[in-house]
Amino acid sequence: MPESPIELQNRLEEAIIPGAREHLLEKGLARGLIWRDGKIPPGGSQFSENLTDDLLDYAYAILAMALRLRMAKGIELVQQRAFLVAAEAIEAAVHRGDPRRVDRGFNRVSAAIAFHLAGFAARAYSVLPTSASTENLSPIENVLVQLLRRSLDEMHVNVKAWLLDEEHQDDRIAQHLREDSNNNEFDEMDAIHTVITTSFMRGLALFDHAITTGNEASATESKHLLLLTAKAAEDMHAVNHWWTSIMAYHLVDDLWQMSLHRQIPEVPPNGDSIEMWTSLRRSYIQQLRAAKRSTIELWPSQIEAAQRASAP
């Protein structure tokens, strides 16, 4: 029998109470104070060899439940606390860890999205990978970093480049499977990776269009396509792709709900000078979007001010 939202919420609250799992998170945070490049300095406190793996197991279990609760419209404060716990656990596991760890970039992107969903945008920014080449980022992870950094022009270029690349078209993928599978240059897993990545990029391209033009239909279709991408990844047992797609769905949903297009009233409070208001509103949003570091959403305090401004 499927778990009800109330049951899920109760289980999540129990999992994130301070001191859970023998103070696992607290141990990770304490290690992070002295940890450098995955090493404890001479004379420092010793921690379990399994601490990093235990933190990641705990973090992703919490993150999965928090995403399900968000989908079920559970209590927002519980969601935010859960996202914060998951983010801090991932950060404690990898942020000052071994820089050679192959999944370090993926984990830092996950932590950044969790921090964002918890309402800690500055912490999300600080934990992001600094370089796609040194952090072993996949194309999907790289464009997610650009979205989180609000480097929307760079994101647009990379998404467009992927979608227009002939190597990523269906007929070319089929050709590679026929011709290259025998010499192991291109196999079924390569095809799955390419198809899922293309579907993800299409979803993000739709969101880029929505946030640029204010077209809500594009935002809705973006979220729908990202969910379909996550389902395809689940069916193909592509775990990392499932995580990036489902997190991107929630990130895009959150950004759209807080976006300037949604939060700035389309009609002035007094109903006068609608034409002038519309022109000023459009110019203001476009100017902020065109900046090197785009502003596309309002902070919580700004949302409250916008709501007051729209009140009659």
On whether both 123 and 175 belong to a single domain, the answer is: no
Domain end (from 215, 232, 257) = 257
pLDDT of 67 above 80? yes
On whether both 149 and 122 belong to a single domain, the answer is: no
Angle CA 228–233–237, to nearest 5:
150
Contact call for residues 200 and 249 (beta carbons, < 8 A): no
Give the range of the structural domain holding residue 282, as residue numbers without chain letter.
Answer: 264-312
User: Looking at the 3D structure of the chain, how many domains does it have?
Assistant: 3
On whether both 221 and 296 belong to a single domain, the answer is: no
**Chain centroid, CA 210 distance in Å:** 17
On whether both 108 and 149 belong to a single domain, the answer is: no
- Interatomic CA distance for residues 145 and 138, integer angstroms: 11
Domain end (from 82, 97, 129) = 129
On whether both 95 and 8 belong to a single domain, the answer is: yes
On whether both 107 and 190 belong to a single domain, the answer is: no
Rounded (10°) angle between helices 188-213 and 216-235: 160
On whether both 251 and 271 belong to a single domain, the answer is: no
Predicted confidence at residue 39, as pLDDT, reads 92
User: pLDDT grade, residue 5 (50/70/90)?
Assistant: confident
Domain end (from 257, 284, 300) = 257
Mean pLDDT of the chain: 89
On whether both 86 and 105 belong to a single domain, the answer is: yes
On whether both 3 and 121 belong to a single domain, the answer is: yes
On whether both 118 and 172 belong to a single domain, the answer is: no
On whether both 193 and 289 belong to a single domain, the answer is: no
On whether both 6 and 107 belong to a single domain, the answer is: yes
Pull the structure tokens for residue 15: 């999992």
pLDDT of 104 above 90? yes
Predicted confidence at residue 256, as pLDDT, reads 92
pLDDT of 79 above 70? yes
* Residue 126: other Cβ atoms inside 10 A: 13
Predicted confidence at residue 258, as pLDDT, reads 84
The amino acid present at 114, given as its one-letter code, is A
